[in-house]
């Protein structure tokens, strides 16, 4: 109630001010007309009489043009334009009325023009002076002094929001921008003082407390170069969201966030064919295995947004399934969501789920993926990654799903570990089942996902939080990285491109050295590598390779309709032999015969390089 009363009082004061300016401008026009000398009595009398028309007309026009919807505190160019339109409109109406009623008697022709100029000045100048005074006077002594990188549209909107922030928590000092044409210009009174290379010197000169990055369209290389300059200042820094998140045209103070590792390692934005994706998936019933995992959960979010007609969640973690179901029901209450606490290794349950819901599209994301752990868990890797895939694939075939998408990994190429070999075995089974099924079986292969459960980024962050050391296995080890969101979008794109039997390889860009990743994460935490936080090299773990590959030399990659997706040629295997090996794997899993499992895995994946007999089983080692 108090806020409403204050608002009405402010509007009333503003209206009273403008009302007083009308006669001041009208009479001032007469004084100027007679060269600042005494106005003849007859003209002065006519001027005063004319106010009976001028004041009510001009006041009404002011109100109609909404001059009192704005706040003087934030007077800006649109407000000045509104004032100009109101003055001109009022002047035209007044001139017409005076001509009709008095034939312009006692009103020199120059008076209306002078009146318009004076009224515009009398209304605009106080507003601008008031804003300047408030800008300077209301700033808190504790406001952080901010240097802004990027003087483009995002930087302009950012400064505008900082100046409008009622808390006045930030004081914009200057811009830096690499565009020479912007050098020396001012944006909302904030000057562009130099390019990014001068950032450390400018920050010291102006005693900045914080650097804000307003370069949402910067690519990975540009962002890395900017961050390197910012780090020389030793100041904390924040950034606006990426360009795709700013399509609304508003950059607000509370949208600022810390620079993430994705900003530094991220790839150029991928342009998806959303029309084809919606045409291929929207309105269909979908099933996602591993629906509570990193990839599975993001897939569910993306599918729900298309939207699909129904979404079946298969997950063996009660907690993950609960969270995913709750999120989907909150975000998409109209979507039919069917959660099932189930294990893909249970063939009977998989068959019942498919029989009940008859999904048209299946995304098989359920898998064990921790490389060092699975080196001593051969039986569990084979049971989950190989037999689990077979169970889901056969259920999809039996209940006539249109499409089955297997989510695989770069570790399946020339595998040096159990995890990669088991995923390659799953690929082989699905590719060869495709030739015997009405269901289209498609494989999508990609590398590491930033921030996924158990991945290196959250592990490094935890080590940094504890003060180090950050443990890197080898100074030369490299991996491919992409974000979970991008991976899932490209998976959906591949599902639309596929006809059946393909291996789609996602373009992962350039591999990233894990040492560089560790150093950047340390810097983003405000620390210095090897000084504040030590980096310790522990040696390659069992099953680890220095470099990962995305395709086998015999797979001969081919382009597809999407520039970020390549197609690898699959290698056929005799179905009878493949089925026999699968039966033997099932028997060996049931008897916990790891020697036989290792031999069978080698027969399926002869290119594997980790053939160490049955030493991969924890229980066997204990006997």
Regarding whether 504 and 471 lie in a shared domain, the answer is: yes
Residue with token string 């229980």:
619
- Would you put residue 273 in left (φ > 0), alpha (ψ -120 to 50) or beta? beta
Q: Is residue 267 part of a domain?
A: no
The residue among 30 and 551 whose pLDDT is bigger is 30
- Domain count across the chain: 3
The residue among 529 and 601 whose pLDDT is bigger is 601
Confidence band for 71, pLDDT divided at 50, 70 and 90 = very low
CATH number at residue 194: 3.40.50.720
The residue among 486 and 350 whose pLDDT is bigger is 350
Q: What is the reported pLDDT for 247?
A: 44
Q: What is the mean pLDDT of the chain?
A: 80
Q: What is the reported pLDDT for 578?
A: 92
Cα dist from 225 to 199, 228, 229, 231, 234, whole Å: 12, 5, 7, 10, 15
**CA 424 – CA 546 distance, rounded (Å):** 19
Regarding whether 299 and 154 lie in a shared domain, the answer is: no
Which residues have CB under 8 Å from 578's CB, separation 6+?
428, 429, 432, 604
pLDDT of 2 over the 60 cut: no
Rounded to a whole number of angstroms, the distance between the first and last alpha carbons of the chain is 78
Of 259, 294, 329, which residue is a domain's last?
259
* pLDDT > 70 in the chain, percent: 80
Q: What is the reported pLDDT for 623?
A: 42
Regarding whether 278 and 151 lie in a shared domain, the answer is: no
Of 259, 288, 303, which residue is a domain's last?
259
Cα dist from 215 to 153, 226, 233, 242, 360, whole Å: 9, 10, 18, 8, 42
Q: What is the reported pLDDT for 403?
A: 93
Which residues have CB under 8 Å from 290's CB, separation 6+?
296, 314, 315, 344, 364, 365, 366, 367
pLDDT of 401 over the 50 cut: yes
Residue with token string 């369209």:
217
Query: pLDDT for 213-267, tens place per residue?
Result: 887 777 767 777 887 788 778 777 777 765 555 444 444 544 555 555 666 565 5
Q: What is the reported pLDDT for 616?
A: 65
Q: What is the reported pLDDT for 395?
A: 96
Confidence band for 136, pLDDT divided at 50, 70 and 90 = low
- Structural domain harbouring 84: 2-137
Confidence band for 142, pLDDT divided at 50, 70 and 90 = low
Residues 174 and 146 sit within 8 Å (Cβ to Cβ): no
**CA 277 – CA 495 distance, rounded (Å):** 8
Query: How far, rounded to the nearest angstrom, does the alpha carbon of residue 283 sit from its chain's CA centroid?
Result: 26
Q: State which of 45-49, 301-305, 462-466 shows the largest mean pLDDT.
A: 301-305
Q: What is the reported pLDDT for 241?
A: 63
Residues 361 and 403 sit within 8 Å (Cβ to Cβ): yes
Residues 72 and 130 sit within 8 Å (Cβ to Cβ): yes
Q: What is the reported pLDDT for 488?
A: 83
**CA 591 – CA 383 distance, rounded (Å):** 12
pTM above the 0.75 mark?
A: no
State mean pLDDT over 540-545. Answer: 70
Query: pLDDT for 348-388, tens place per residue?
Result: 999 999 999 999 999 999 999 888 888 889 999 999 999 99
Q: What is the reported pLDDT for 112?
A: 81
pLDDT of 412 over the 80 cut: yes
Residue 96, phi then psi, degrees to nearest 5? -65, -45
Which residues have CB under 8 Å from 261's CB, separation 6+?
450, 457, 517, 520, 521, 524
**Nearest of 368, 361, 390, 242 to residue 300 by alpha carbon:** 361
**CA 201 – CA 125 distance, rounded (Å):** 37
Regarding whether 563 and 437 lie in a shared domain, the answer is: yes
Q: Is residue 194 part of a domain?
A: yes
Cα dist from 76 to 79, 163, 171, 184, whole Å: 5, 12, 18, 22
The CA dihedral of 304, 310, 316, 320, to the nearest 10 degrees, is 30
Q: Is residue 612 part of a domain?
A: no
Regarding whether 390 and 296 lie in a shared domain, the answer is: yes
**Nearest of 112, 105, 63 to residue 88 by alpha carbon:** 112
Q: What is the reported pLDDT for 452?
A: 60
Query: pLDDT for 292-345, tens place per residue?
Result: 988 899 999 989 988 899 999 999 999 999 999 999 999 999 999 999 999 999
Q: Is residue 622 part of a domain?
A: no
Regarding whether 148 and 116 lie in a shared domain, the answer is: no
Q: What is the reported pLDDT for 131?
A: 65
Tell me the two tokens of residue 232.
């020389």
Q: What is the reported pLDDT for 618?
A: 63
Q: Is residue 504 part of a domain?
A: yes
Regarding whether 118 and 33 lie in a shared domain, the answer is: yes
The residue among 341 and 500 whose pLDDT is bigger is 341
Regarding whether 421 and 296 lie in a shared domain, the answer is: yes
Regarding whether 278 and 247 lie in a shared domain, the answer is: no
Lowest-pLDDT choice from 130-144, 233-247, 576-590, 597-611: 130-144
Regarding whether 24 and 157 lie in a shared domain, the answer is: no
Of 202, 232, 259, which residue is a domain's last?
259
Q: State which of 63-77, 144-158, 271-285, 328-342 shows the largest mean pLDDT.
A: 328-342
State mean pLDDT over 459-475. Answer: 83
**CA 161 – CA 163 distance, rounded (Å):** 5
Residue with token string 């200042």:
233
Q: Is residue 609 part of a domain?
A: no
Q: State which of 25-29, 172-176, 462-466, 545-549 shows the largest mean pLDDT.
A: 172-176
pLDDT of 78 over the 70 cut: no
Regarding whether 159 and 133 lie in a shared domain, the answer is: no
Q: Within 10 Å of residue 576's Cβ, how many Cβ atoms?
A: 8
Q: What is the reported pLDDT for 386?
A: 96
Regarding whether 82 and 180 lie in a shared domain, the answer is: no
Q: What is the reported pLDDT for 613?
A: 47
Q: Is residue 92 part of a domain?
A: yes
pLDDT of 580 over the 70 cut: yes
Q: Is residue 265 part of a domain?
A: no
């Amino acid at each position: 109630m108090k806020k409403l009363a204050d608002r009405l009082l402010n509007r009333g004061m503003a209206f009273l001010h403008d009302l007083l300016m009308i006669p001041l401008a009208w009479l001032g026009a007469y004084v100027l007309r007679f060269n600042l000398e005494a106005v003849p009595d007859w003209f002065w009398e006519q001027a005063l009489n004319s106010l009976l028309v001028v004041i009510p007309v001009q006041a009404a026009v002011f109100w109609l043009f909404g001059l009192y919807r704005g706040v003087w505190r934030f007077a800006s160019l649109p407000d000045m334009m509104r004032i100009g339109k109101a003055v001109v409109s009022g002047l035209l109406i007044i001139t017409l009325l005076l001509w009709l009623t008095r034939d312009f008697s006692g009103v020199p022709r120059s008076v209306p023009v002078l009146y318009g100029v004076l009224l515009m000045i009398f209304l605009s100048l106080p507003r601008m002076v008031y804003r300047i005074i408030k800008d300077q006077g209301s700033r808190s002594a504790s406001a952080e002094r901010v240097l802004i990188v990027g003087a483009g549209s995002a930087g302009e909107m950012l400064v505008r929001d900082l100046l409008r922030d009622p808390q006045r928590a930030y004081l914009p000092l200057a811009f830096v921008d690499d565009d020479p044409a912007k050098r020396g210009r001012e944006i909302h009174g904030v000057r562009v003082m130099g390019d990014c290379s001068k950032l450390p010197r400018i920050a010291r000169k102006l005693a900045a407390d914080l650097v804000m990055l307003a370069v949402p369209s910067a690519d990975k290389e540009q962002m890395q170069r900017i961050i390197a300059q910012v780090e020389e200042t030793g100041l904390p820094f924040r950034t606006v969201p990426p360009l795709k998140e700013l399509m609304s045209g508003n950059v607000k103070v509370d949208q600022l966030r810390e620079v993430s590792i994705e900003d530094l390692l991220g790839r150029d934005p991928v342009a998806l064919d959303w029309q084809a994706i919606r045409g291929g998936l929207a309105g269909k019933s979908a099933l996602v295995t591993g629906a509570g995992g990193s990839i599975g959960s993001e897939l569910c979010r993306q599918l729900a947004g298309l939207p699909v007609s129904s979404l079946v969640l298969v997950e063996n973690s009660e907690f993950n399934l609960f969270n995913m179901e709750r999120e989907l029901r909150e975000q998409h209450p109209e979507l039919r969501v069917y959660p099932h606490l189930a294990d893909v290794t249970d063939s009977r349950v998989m068959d019942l789920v498919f029989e009940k819901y008859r999904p048209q599209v299946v995304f098989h994301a359920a898998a064990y993926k921790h490389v060092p752990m699975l080196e001593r868990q051969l039986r569990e890797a084979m049971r989950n990654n190989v037999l689990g895939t077979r169970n889901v694939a056969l259920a999809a075939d039996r209940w006539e799903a249109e499409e089955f998408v297997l989510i695989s990994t770069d570790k399946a190429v020339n595998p040096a570990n159990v995890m990669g070999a088991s995923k390659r075995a799953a690929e082989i089974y699905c590719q060869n089942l495709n030739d015997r099924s009405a269901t289209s079986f498609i494989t999508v292969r990609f590398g590491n996902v930033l921030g996924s459960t158990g991945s290196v980024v959250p592990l490094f962050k935890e080590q940094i939080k504890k003060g180090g050391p950050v443990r890197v296995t080898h100074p030369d080890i490299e991996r491919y990285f992409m974000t979970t969101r991008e991976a899932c979008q490209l998976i959906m794109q591949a599902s639309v491109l596929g006809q059946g039997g393909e291996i789609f390889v996602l373009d992962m860009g350039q591999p990233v050295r894990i040492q560089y990743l560790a150093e950047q994460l340390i810097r983003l935490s405000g620390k210095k590598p090897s000084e504040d936080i030590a980096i310790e090299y522990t040696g390659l773990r069992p099953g680890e390779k220095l470099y990962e590959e995305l395709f086998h030399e015999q797979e001969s990659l081919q382009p597809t309709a999407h520039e970020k997706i390549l197609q690898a040629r699959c290698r056929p295997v005799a179905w009878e032999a493949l089925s026999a090996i699968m039966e033997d794997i099932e028997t060996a899993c049931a008897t916990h015969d790891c020697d036989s499992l290792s031999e069978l895995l080698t027969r399926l994946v002869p290119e594997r390089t980790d053939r160490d007999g049955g030493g991969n089983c924890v229980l066997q080692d204990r006997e």
